[in-house]
Amino acid sequence: MIEIEHIYKSFDSSRGRFNLFNDFNLNVKDGTFSGIQGKSGAGKSTLLSIIAGLQKPDSGSVKIDGLDICTLSDKESAVFRNQNIGFISQEQSFLENFTVLDNVRLPSYILSHSKKQQDDRIITERAMELLKIFEISHLASCYPRELSGGENHRVLIARALMNDPKIILADEPTESVDSERTEAIIILFKELAKSGKIVILVSHDNNALSLCDAIVKI
Ligand X SMILES: Nc1ncnc2c1ncn2[C@@H]1O[C@H](COP(=O)(O)OP(=O)(O)OP(=O)(O)O)[C@@H](O)[C@H]1O
Q: Is 117 in the site for ligand X (CB under 6 A)?
A: no
Site string for Mg ion, 16-35 (x = CB under 5 A): --------------------
Residues 18 to 37: which contact ligand X by CB under 6 A?
20
**126: contact with ligand X by CB under 6 A:** no
According to DSSP, residue 145 is labeled: G
Burial class (CB in 10 A: 0-12, 13-18, 19+), 133: middle
Is 44 a residue that touches ligand X (CB under 6 A)?
yes
Residue 1: closest CA among 22, 23, 21, 27: 27
Site for Mg ion in 92-111 (CB under 5 A): none
When binding is defined by CB under 6 A, the residue of 3, 8, 26, 42 that contacts ligand X is 42
Q: Closest Cα to residue 159, out of 82, 65, 79?
A: 82
**Are the C-beta atoms of residues 53 and 80 closer than 8 Å to each other?**
yes
Min dist. Cβ of residue 204 to ligand X (A): 7
Q: Could you tell me the CA-to-CA distances from 144 to 16, 89, 152 in Å, in that order?
A: 37, 15, 6
Q: How far apart are CA 148 and CA 150, in angstroms?
A: 6
Residue from the set 45, 84, 89, 108 that interacts with Mg ion by CB under 5 A:
45
Residue count, binding to ligand X (CB under 6 A): 12
- What is the rounded CA–CA span in Å between residue 131 and residue 29? 29
Closest approach of ligand X to the CB of residue 112, in Å: 33
Which of the residues 164 through 183 are near ligand X (CB under 6 A)? none
d(CA 52, CA 171) in angstroms, rounded, equals 12
At 146, which amino acid appears?
A: E
Q: Which of 5, 43, 61, 205 binds ligand X (CB under 6 A)?
A: 43
Q: Which of residues 122-181 bind Mg ion (CB under 5 A)?
A: none
Positions in the binding site for Mg ion (CB under 5 A)? 44-45, 90
Positions in the binding site for ligand X (CB under 6 A)? 11, 13, 20, 38, 40-46, 90
